[in-house]
Amino acid sequence: MFEQRTEDYSVKFGQDPSLGLEGQKSFPFIFSLVNRNDDTWTPVTPGNQPSLANLGPLVPAASKLNHNVLLDPDYAFKLLSIRYGVNYWTPPTHIPGLYVWYENINSAAGAGGLSDGVDPDTDKVGTPLVRFMGISLSFQGAGSTTLYGGQDAGYLRNGQRIPLPADTIQGYDYGVCTMRTPFLLPRQGVLTFEFTNSHATKDLYVAAAIYGVKVRL
């Protein structure tokens, strides 16, 4: 009599911490705001203007935007910190269009980006655009947990959630430190960002380096 069986081994391929990656049970990893299936990055070529849409979403002026980041299905992720960046696309005028990360800058070219042909050290730096970005971050899994911002920060009079300013999380551009956010997140978890652009007139691109450690449980 023929008997059909489905093998279910106790150790799944690629999940045993004693195999692969030179025996390492954990290793550093960085997620971005662009999910793997949504990545449309292509090399820059003549006539092909680089796009910051490949780094993160565009948040309209004076608006909020919800954005989800799906974690990988292979290993759990120990989130440690997140570094944010905010940029604005300056349409072409007397010079090619630029991405800039400051405004109110007094420079010879009047733009203030690295590609304006002016030594950044000679620019008189104005207001960093990251100052206009507020962030609420929560984790969606078996339950919903607010990591920072959102309801844990209280409510405004109109009932809207209060975001945490990005420059509060990470300080000035010349530093690399960010607020530590130590959470062990499961495989295929979802990080939910609510970005609040408080700039009255500028649509802002927001990017992030979501730094942590993948853990082989």
Secondary structure class of 151 (helix, strand, coil): helix
Q: For position 108, what pLDDT does the model report?
A: 46
Contacts of 151 (CB under 8 A, 6+ apart): 161
The H or E element spanning position 169 is: helix 166-170
Q: Residue 154: inside a domain, yes or no?
A: yes
SS3 per residue for 89-149:
EECCCCCCCEEECEECCECCCCCCCHHHCCCHHHCECCEEHHHHEEEEEEEECCCEEEEEC
Answer for the pair 152, 136: CB distance below 8 angstroms, yes or no: no
> In the chain, which residues have pLDDT < 50?
1-2, 4, 17, 20, 107-116, 157
Answer for the pair 84, 196: CB distance below 8 angstroms, yes or no: no
Tokens of 90: 């300056």
Structural domain harbouring 111 = 24-38+75-215
Q: For position 15, what pLDDT does the model report?
A: 53
Q: Residue 58: inside a domain, yes or no?
A: no
Tell me the sheet residues that pair with 76.
Answer: 215
Q: Counting Cβ atoms within 10 Å, is residue 80 exposed (0-12), middle (13-18) or buried (19+)?
A: middle
Q: Residue 173: inside a domain, yes or no?
A: yes
For 77, other C-beta atoms within 10 Å of its C-beta total 22
User: Amino acid identity, residue 175?
Assistant: G
Q: Residue 181: inside a domain, yes or no?
A: yes
Q: For position 113, what pLDDT does the model report?
A: 46
85-130 pLDDT, tens per residue?
A: 999 887 766 556 677 888 876 544 444 444 445 555 555 567 889 9
Q: Residue 64: inside a domain, yes or no?
A: no
Q: Residue 114: inside a domain, yes or no?
A: yes
Instruction: Measure the CA–CA gap between 150 and 134, rounded to whole angstroms.
Output: 10
Q: For position 147, what pLDDT does the model report?
A: 87
Q: Which residue has the tokens 């203007």?
A: 49
pTM: 0.76
Q: For position 195, what pLDDT does the model report?
A: 95
Q: Residue 132: inside a domain, yes or no?
A: yes
Tokens of 63: 């608006």
Tokens of 34: 């662009």
Q: For position 118, what pLDDT does the model report?
A: 52
Q: Residue 92: inside a domain, yes or no?
A: yes
Tell me the sheet residues that pair with 212.
Answer: 29, 79
Q: For position 205, what pLDDT does the model report?
A: 93
How many structural domains compose the chain? 1
